[in-house]
């Protein structure tokens, strides 16, 4: 860290050694018994460092995706302030944080906020809200249920090479 390595990256090796401690001790013992031949240990350490960096990049990418989704939804509802608009915005945002498909019958139970909002509404209100979100391209109905179409905003995110969010691949 004194050399300027960011704190999260500086801890990657110790995390790797802890998570693979049996291999760490084996590699350390092998390096000691080899009379100073440390190349296998360095390869092991470097693999752990690279894996840690990839893992951190995946977390960062997922966070970027979450922020971009929230911003996109808020932008689409920017000039909409009617109660139905607010309800639909909440539904789109909460579906987007779910990371998967939700059975239509369970949508009003997805989050405490949605439970509160739809507690006094009829099932038809929820269906109307879903139709509006579908027209906006924010959700998709599948045989399994309803899902947020978060992949639509991937074009707005920085290029990432091979790293993709591990919570959801394309929706």
Q: Are residues 86 and 139 in the same domain?
A: yes
The region, left, alpha or beta by phi > 0 then psi within -120 to 50, assigned to residue 161 is left
**pLDDT over 70 (residue 171):** no
**pLDDT over 50 (residue 166):** no
Residues 6+ apart with CB under 8 A from 171: 140, 147, 148, 149, 150, 151
Q: Are residues 53 and 89 in the same domain?
A: no
pLDDT in tens, 5-46: 788 777 898 899 999 999 999 999 999 898 888 999 999 999
**pLDDT over 80 (residue 1):** no
pLDDT in tens, 54-106: 998 899 888 888 898 999 999 999 999 999 999 999 999 999 988 789 998 88
The 10 Å Cβ neighbour count of residue 115 is 12
Q: How many domains does the chain have?
A: 2
pTM of the model: 0.72
Tell me the residue range of the domain where 44 lies.
7-58
Helix intervals (H) in 77-137:
83-98, 112-118, 123-135
- Write the CATH number for 141: 1.10.10.10
pLDDT in tens, 97-133: 887 899 988 888 899 999 999 999 999 999 999 999 9
Q: Which residues of 42-76 are buried (b: 16+ CB within 10 A; e: fewer)?
A: eebbeebeeebeeeeebeebbeebbebbeebbeeb
Residue 46 within a domain = yes
- pLDDT at residue 167 in the model: 43
More reliable by pLDDT, 134 or 65:
134
């Amino acid at each position: 860290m004194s050399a300027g390595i960011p704190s999260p990256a500086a801890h990657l090796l110790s995390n790797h050694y802890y998570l693979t401690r049996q291999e760490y001790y084996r590699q350390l013992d092998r390096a000691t018994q080899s009379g100073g031949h440390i190349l296998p240990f360095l390869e092991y350490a470097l693999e752990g460092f690279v894996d840690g960096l990839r893992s951190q990049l995946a977390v960062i990418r997922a966070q970027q995706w979450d922020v971009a989704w929230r911003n996109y939804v808020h932008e689409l509802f920017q000039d909409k302030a009617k109660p139905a608009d607010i309800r639909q915005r909440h539904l789109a945002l909460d579906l987007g944080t779910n990371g998967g498909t939700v059975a239509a019958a369970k949508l009003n139970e997805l989050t405490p906020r949605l439970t509160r909002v739809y507690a006094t509404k009829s099932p038809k209100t929820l269906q109307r809200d879903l139709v509006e979100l579908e027209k906006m391209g924010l959700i998709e109905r599948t045989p399994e249920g309803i899902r947020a179409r978060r992949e639509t905003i991937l074009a707005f995110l920085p290029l990432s090479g091979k790293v993709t969010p591990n919570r959801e691949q394309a929706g």
